[in-house]
Amino acid sequence: MSEEGMARPGTVETPLTERSSRVSAARKLTRRAGRERAGMFLAEGAMAVTEALDALSGQHPSGGASTGVREVFATPEALRRNPEITDLCAAVGVSLRIVTERAAATLSETVTPQGLVAACGLPRPSMDGVLAARPRLVAVLSDVADPGNAGTVVRVADAAGAEAVLFAGDTVDPYNGKAVRASTGSVFHLPLVRERDVSAVFAACRDAGMKLIGAEGGAGEDLHTAERRGRLDGPTAWVFGSEAHGLGERSAELDHALRVPIYGRAESLNLATAAAVCLYTSARRVHPRDA
């Protein structure tokens, strides 16, 4: 690996500019095609970079979902604000590249760049491998287009103790920059599986012993009634549809479709909020000792 721009203790480094080869290569990861080609993605911000480095060092007992941090890009100001990043990089043997503010901005997809970005290996877990562990709770996103919603569902699934998130059909890339930021580090905690064939995802979940339950605003039965009747007992795959059209015809492929009851005057809940209610309700049933 090139030593270009690498920080060394006790030396003053000349920051890499946006024209440097290391920054130019990393900039390609802001596009899906570039991520797929390189097998890498970018995680921006102190929290995401710290989570990525912690996962690499084994501080997450589950092993995390990352295949490793390849290098970290940081401005001098970002390191001043987050001095622990230097020690973390040194502890796990990850190259720390000092870059200019302008170079950091070219790696950012935010209005206000944080000046701290990690280039990480792109995980490619198989659906068969994930489901072979017989998970008790997973989230399935079917044709979800918004990366902010997708990343937030990953965060919620992680918090609710789900063992995986399955991205089915035309769902957004979970390693899109906005999705990674919205997950606030949870992309490093649990496997994210991508599969274009939605029916294949449903079949695989059933084969793994899970009930398929969809969140649908127009469903005849509500979530709390279903919980009282025991429909949420046992391993469950919660399925969430697109923001604009819900599950549509996919509802016919599920074991149950349930609605989150609305007690006030709001017309509906957004996808990520509904997912939080559904996953936490199931968590009480599948992880009763932790409830």
Q: What is the pLDDT of residues 49-72, one digit of tens each?
A: 999 999 876 544 444 454 689 999
pLDDT attached to residue 288 = 63
Say yes or no to pLDDT of 1 above 50: no
pLDDT attached to residue 3 = 55
Q: What is the mean pLDDT of residues 211-226?
A: 92
Q: What is the mean pLDDT of residues 239-249?
A: 89
Q: What is the mean pLDDT of residues 85-90?
A: 95
Residues 6+ apart with CB under 8 A from 164: 125, 130, 131, 135, 138, 139, 157, 190, 191, 192, 193
pLDDT attached to residue 10 = 36
Cite the residue boundaries of each domain of the chain with CATH code 3.40.1280.10.
Answer: 127-290
CATH architecture of the domain with range 127-290: 3-Layer(aba) Sandwich (3.40)
Q: What is the pLDDT of residues 6-28, one digit of tens each?
A: 654 433 468 999 999 999 999 99
Query: Tokens standing for 3?
Result: 């030593």
Model pTM score? 0.89
Q: What is the mean pLDDT of residues 181-202?
A: 95
pLDDT attached to residue 64 = 44
Task: Name residue 192's beta-bridge partners.
Answer: 165
State the alpha helices, DSSP H only, in the chain.
Answer: 21-27, 32-38, 46-57, 76-81, 84-92, 101-106, 127-131, 147-159, 177-182, 198-207, 223-228, 271-286
- Angle, helix 271-286 to helix 147-159, in steps of 10 degrees: 20
Residue 53 corresponds to which amino acid?
A: L
Cite the residue boundaries of each domain of the chain with CATH code 3.30.1330.30.
Answer: 21-121
Query: Tokens standing for 64?
Result: 């995390």
pLDDT attached to residue 57 = 66
| Fold classified for 21-121 | 60s Ribosomal Protein L30; Chain: A; (3.30.1330)
At residue 123 the predicted structure's pLDDT band, cuts being 50, 70 and 90, is very high
CA angle in degrees (0–180, nearest 5) for 186-191-194: 115
Residue 118 corresponds to which amino acid?
A: A
**3-class DSSP assignment, residue 214:** strand
At residue 94 the predicted structure's pLDDT band, cuts being 50, 70 and 90, is very high
